[in-house]
């Protein structure tokens, strides 16, 4: 009994000691937590709950291609005071060799020296590398010392996000720059959705001003932002931006812009604004398409004639005398572009529009609007004096001169008739022409289809009708015929095609400088295609081309429109022109062949990575292809940047070979995802 009692007492004593020790540890943890909390609450400069930015949402084009994404990057560091002497001395050289092999920025001896010095000086935070990828982080985690973790090995890492644009400079101003520079574009307009919710992490400021993460129950994980699905078609954007750049370089222009829009919906498929830099190159420095209001010149004749037709003052057969190409309004001489060749003489109002006679349109308006304010009021009723309330910030306000303006004079009305003494942006002018193409319905231009977070729709942008009809159906029919005629046998006949029908109007306007018009011009073209059943509307504006090289709208701007029209027709036939005889038979045969080719080569138009689902083409149709989480996905057919984004975020190290889309992958789709795996992707255009 005595022996049993002694054993019992010893057990009780040991148990008591364990309980006391546990209580002491618990009390110490509470004290430490309380101390941290007090220091945070007292705004201690050494201990803070610091904000951790949330992963920003993605921006996609209309086909699901990534336009902007946040790639996770990491900063790795070591607390050299944590490892035991034995662990450090036996392994720091191997750690140095591993770091040198992974990053190839320093030699193994240089890394070893940094580690030794840090250990000697008892540094609690030695930054080893910043901006590394997830796949590199996984390799680092397996290195000696660091594999022991935070408390035994002193391994510390933090995650950040880096905003990237997979398509580089394509559409970069429209996409915007997010938090990197001053906010513009979609990044700014939809920031409330894209930014998500920031997290918080307790951190300690140590030597060198470095903030070291601390474990803490108060940490709050950041919430990722929602994704924005834009209306941009990156393929069309590429064609539009390349064609605009070619024109700017050819004519050594100061800047230019191009917009291509879906007629029925107002969805913008391409928008680019390029400016010549000090180095003589061109870059998107300012969105001239929406931010610059200017005197449009002859493209405004559409609005003037619309008003006159709708008011019943004229018809297109009415004769107007343009004389010898020069006509005096009060104290100023107005000239037509063919003045040196004797002018047009007496012509119909319809022809005056097609050949872009300034005198013909001006005399028509002046003769029928003796009360000048009536003309101004009629323009206002069209809606062209109002902003479009466009999604992006920075839309310039249109300005239509009123008769009570102190600068109104006897020449204001005739010059307004063909696009002077008023200002509009390229997008505002395009919206008017788009309404004519759309049977009179004025729709609001837009850049976004929807905002989505996983399965949840945060915002859906449908077609918004600003005016059900800007004028009568009869007037629309007349204007559409005139715009077709301007291309077929008018000022834009150089871009006429029997196979690729279109309609539009040229513009060539002098640019005012310090109150007078010099020898600098702004060339433009705005129209739509096909002419019979319009699908796209488009405007091209080129500012200050070299006069000695070329400055007329049909020469400088219209060819950009033509290139877009021709390439989109060639990509997928849009409509059938009204042909007859052998031409029609030949055309229909080729149209059938082109459609066959397009159906076979068509690229999947929906890639829903959020659900581990994307669309695969079997050559004749699109089928959803699912892959399980934790398995290798099938990325064949994806653009390189889409595949890179998906795979790297799954922890794979990706090696790209070639350019274009993925045609082969080294790891079989469906196989189990392993640790530190490497996948090679073969690309082809």
CATH code for the domain of 633: 3.30.10.20
Q: CA-CA distance, 350 to 320, in Å (whole number)?
A: 10
Whether the pLDDT of residue 44 is over 90: the answer is no
Q: CA-CA distance, 492 to 392, in Å (whole number)?
A: 32
DSSP 3-state assignment of 33? helix
Q: CA-CA distance, 355 to 31, in Å (whole number)?
A: 88
Q: What are phi and psi of 558, to 5 degrees?
A: -55, -40
pLDDT of 602 = 41
pLDDT band for 459, please (50, 70, 90 cuts). Answer: very high
Neighbouring residues of 618: CB distance < 8 A, sequence distance ≥ 6: none
Whether the pLDDT of residue 214 is over 80: the answer is no
CB 232 within 8 A of CB 63: no
| 591, part of any domain | no
Whether the pLDDT of residue 620 is over 60: the answer is no
Q: CA-CA distance, 239 to 340, in Å (whole number)?
A: 37
CB 525 within 8 A of CB 557: yes
Neighbouring residues of 191: CB distance < 8 A, sequence distance ≥ 6: 178, 183
CA dihedral 584, 587, 588, 591 (to 10 degrees): -160
| 589, part of any domain | no
Q: What is the DSSP letter of 639?
A: B
| 366, part of any domain | yes
pLDDT band for 6, please (50, 70, 90 cuts). Answer: confident
Whether the pLDDT of residue 617 is over 60: the answer is no
Q: Using DSSP bridges, classify how beta strands 422-423 and 442-443 pair: parallel, antiparallel or unpaired.
A: unpaired
Q: What is the separation, in whole angstroms, between the first and last Cα of the chain?
A: 90
Indicate the average pLDDT of the chain. 85
Number of domains in the chain: 4
Neighbouring residues of 206: CB distance < 8 A, sequence distance ≥ 6: 124, 125, 212
Q: Which of 48-52, 114-118, 367-371, 647-651 has the weakest average pLDDT?
A: 48-52
Whether the pLDDT of residue 238 is over 90: the answer is yes
pLDDT of 584 = 40
Q: CA-CA distance, 536 to 530, in Å (whole number)?
A: 8
Task: Report the CATH number that the domain containing residue 198 is assigned in CATH.
Answer: 3.90.1310.10
pLDDT in tens, 343-365: 999 999 999 999 999 999 999 99
pLDDT of 159 = 79
> Are 357 and 285 in the same domain?
yes
Residue 642 belongs to what domain range?
607-684
For the residues 265-279, what does the mean pLDDT come to? 96
Burial of residue 548 (number of CB atoms within 10 Å: 0-12, 13-18, 19+) = exposed
Whether the pLDDT of residue 387 is over 90: the answer is yes
> Are 151 and 264 in the same domain?
no
Whether the pLDDT of residue 425 is over 80: the answer is yes
> Are 547 and 402 in the same domain?
yes
pLDDT of 21 = 79
For the residues 656-663, what does the mean pLDDT come to? 78
> Are 105 and 194 in the same domain?
yes
Task: Report the CATH number that the domain containing residue 366 is assigned in CATH.
Answer: 3.40.710.10
> Are 211 and 247 in the same domain?
no
pLDDT of 5 = 74
Q: Which tops the pLDDT comparison, 464 or 571?
A: 464
pLDDT band for 313, please (50, 70, 90 cuts). Answer: very high
Whether the pLDDT of residue 213 is over 80: the answer is no
| 128, part of any domain | yes
Put simply, whether the predicted model's pTM sits higher than 0.85 gets the answer no
Q: Using DSSP bridges, classify how beta strands 678-684 and 653-657 pair: parallel, antiparallel or unpaired.
A: parallel
If one counts every other C-beta atom within 10 angstroms of the C-beta of residue 613, the result is 14
> Are 169 and 215 in the same domain?
yes
Q: What are phi and psi of 599, to 5 degrees?
A: -65, -35
pLDDT in tens, 525-581: 999 999 999 999 999 999 999 988 999 999 999 999 999 999 998 876 565 444 443
Residue 657 parent element (H or E): strand 653-657
| Candidate ranges 158-172, 263-277, 451-465; pick with highest mean pLDDT | 263-277
| 428, part of any domain | yes
| 598, part of any domain | no
Instruction: List, in sequence order, the alpha helices (H) in 299-348.
Output: 301-310
pLDDT of 217 = 61
Q: CA-CA distance, 266 to 624, in Å (whole number)?
A: 29
Among 190, 206, 226, give the residue marking a domain's end.
Answer: 226
CB 560 within 8 A of CB 239: no
> Are 111 and 248 in the same domain?
no
> Are 272 and 180 in the same domain?
no
pLDDT band for 586, please (50, 70, 90 cuts). Answer: very low
Buried b (16+ CB within 10 A) or exposed e, 175-194: bbbbbeeeebbbbbbbbebb
pLDDT of 638 = 82
> Are 563 and 649 in the same domain?
no
Instruction: Report how far apart, in Å, the C-alpha atoms of 570 and of each of 159, 316, 371, 438, 585 are.
Output: 46, 35, 50, 23, 18
Residue 108 parent element (H or E): helix 108-120
Work out the percent of the chain whose per-residue pLDDT is above 70: 85
| 593, part of any domain | no
> Are 187 and 314 in the same domain?
no
For the residues 20-46, what does the mean pLDDT come to? 63
Among 186, 207, 226, give the residue marking a domain's end.
Answer: 226
Three state DSSP letters for 462-528: CCCEEECCCCCHHHHHHHHHHHHHHHHCCCCHHHCCCCCCCEEEEEEEEEEECCEEEEEEEEEEEEE
Neighbouring residues of 480: CB distance < 8 A, sequence distance ≥ 6: 436, 437, 503, 531
pLDDT of 637 = 83
Whether the pLDDT of residue 53 is over 80: the answer is no
> Are 547 and 420 in the same domain?
yes
Neighbouring residues of 260: CB distance < 8 A, sequence distance ≥ 6: 236, 240, 268, 269, 270, 271, 536, 537, 538, 564
| 594, part of any domain | no
pLDDT band for 308, please (50, 70, 90 cuts). Answer: very high
> Are 557 and 635 in the same domain?
no
pLDDT in tens, 475-488: 999 999 999 999 99
């Amino acid at each position: 009994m005595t022996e049993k009692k002694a054993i019992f007492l010893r057990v009780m004593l040991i148990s008591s000691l364990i309980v006391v020790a546990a209580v002491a540890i618990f009390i110490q943890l509470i004290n430490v937590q309380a101390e941290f909390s007090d220091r945070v609450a007292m705004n201690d400069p050494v201990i803070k709950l610091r904000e951790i930015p949330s992963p920003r949402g993605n921006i996609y084009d209309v086909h699901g291609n990534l336009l902007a994404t946040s790639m996770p990057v990491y900063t790795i560091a070591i607390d050299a005071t944590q490892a035991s002497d034995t662990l450090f001395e036996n392994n720091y050289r191997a750690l140095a060799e591993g770091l040198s092999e992974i990053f190839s920025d320093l030699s193994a001896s240089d890394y070893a020296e940094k580690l030794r010095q840090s250990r000697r000086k008892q540094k609690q935070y030695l930054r080893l590398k910043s901006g590394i990828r997830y796949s590199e982080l996984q390799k680092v985690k397996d290195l000696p010392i660091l594999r022991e973790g935070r408390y035994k090995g002193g391994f510390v890492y933090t995650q950040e996000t880096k905003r990237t644009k997979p398509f580089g400079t394509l559409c970069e101003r429209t996409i915007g720059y997010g938090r990197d520079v001053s906010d513009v574009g979609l990044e700014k307009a939809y920031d409330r959705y894209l930014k998500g919710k920031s997290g918080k992490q307790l951190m300690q400021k140590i030597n060198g001003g470095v903030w070291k993460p601390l474990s803490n129950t108060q940490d709050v994980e950041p919430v990722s932002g929602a994704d924005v699905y834009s209306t941009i078609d990156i393929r069309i954007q590429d064609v539009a931006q390349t064609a605009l750049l070619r024109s700017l370089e050819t004519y050594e222009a100061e800047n230019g812009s191009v917009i291509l829009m879906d007629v029925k919906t107002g969805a913008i498929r391409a928008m680019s604004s390029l400016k010549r830099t000090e180095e003589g190159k061109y870059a998107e420095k300012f969105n001239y398409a929406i931010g610059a209001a200017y005197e449009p010149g002859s493209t405004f004749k559409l609005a003037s004639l619309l008003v006159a037709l709708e008011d019943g003052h004229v018809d297109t057969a009415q004769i107007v005398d343009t004389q010898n190409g020069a006509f005096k309004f009060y104290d100023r001489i107005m000239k037509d572009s063919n003045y040196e060749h004797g002018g047009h003489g007496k012509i119909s109002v319809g022809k005056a529009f097609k050949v872009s006679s300034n005198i013909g349109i001006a005399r028509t308006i002046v003769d029928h609007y003796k009360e000048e304010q009536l003309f101004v009021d009629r323009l206002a009723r069209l809606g062209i004096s109002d902003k479009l309330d466009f999604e992006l910030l920075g839309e310039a306000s249109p300005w239509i001169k009123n008769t009570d303006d102190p600068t109104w004079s006897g020449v204001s009305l005739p010059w307004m008739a063909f696009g002077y003494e008023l200002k509009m942006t390229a997008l505002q002018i395009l919206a008017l022409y788009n309404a004519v193409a759309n049977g009179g319905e004025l729709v609001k231009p837009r850049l976004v289809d929807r905002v989505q977070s996983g399965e949840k729709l945060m915002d859906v942008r449908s077609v918004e009708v600003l005016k059900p009809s800007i004028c009568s159906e009869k007037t629309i029919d007349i204007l559409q015929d005139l715009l077709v005629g301007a291309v077929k046998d008018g000022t834009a006949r150089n871009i006429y095609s029997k196979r690729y029908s279109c309609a539009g109007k040229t513009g060539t306007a002098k640019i005012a400088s310090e109150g007078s018009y010099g020898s600098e011009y702004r060339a433009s073209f705005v129209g739509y295609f096909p002419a019979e059943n319009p699908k796209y509307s488009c405007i091209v504006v080129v500012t200050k081309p070299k006069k000695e090289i070329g400055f007329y709208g049909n020469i400088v701007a219209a060819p950009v429109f033509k290139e877009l029209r021709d390439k989109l027709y060639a990509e997928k036939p849009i409509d059938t022109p009204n042909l007859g005889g052998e031409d029609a038979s030949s055309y229909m045969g080729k149209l059938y062949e082109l459609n066959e080719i397009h159906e076979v080569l068509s690229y999947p138009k929906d890639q829903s990575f959020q659900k581990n689902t994307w669309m695969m083409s079997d050559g004749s149709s699109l089928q959803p292809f699912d892959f399980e989480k934790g398995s290798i996905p099938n990325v064949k057919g994806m653009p390189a940047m889409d595949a890179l984004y998906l795979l790297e975020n799954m922890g794979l190290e990706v090696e790209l070979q070639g350019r274009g889309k993925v045609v082969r992958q080294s790891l079989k789709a469906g196989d189990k995802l392993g640790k530190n795996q490497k996948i090679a992707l073969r690309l082809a255009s």
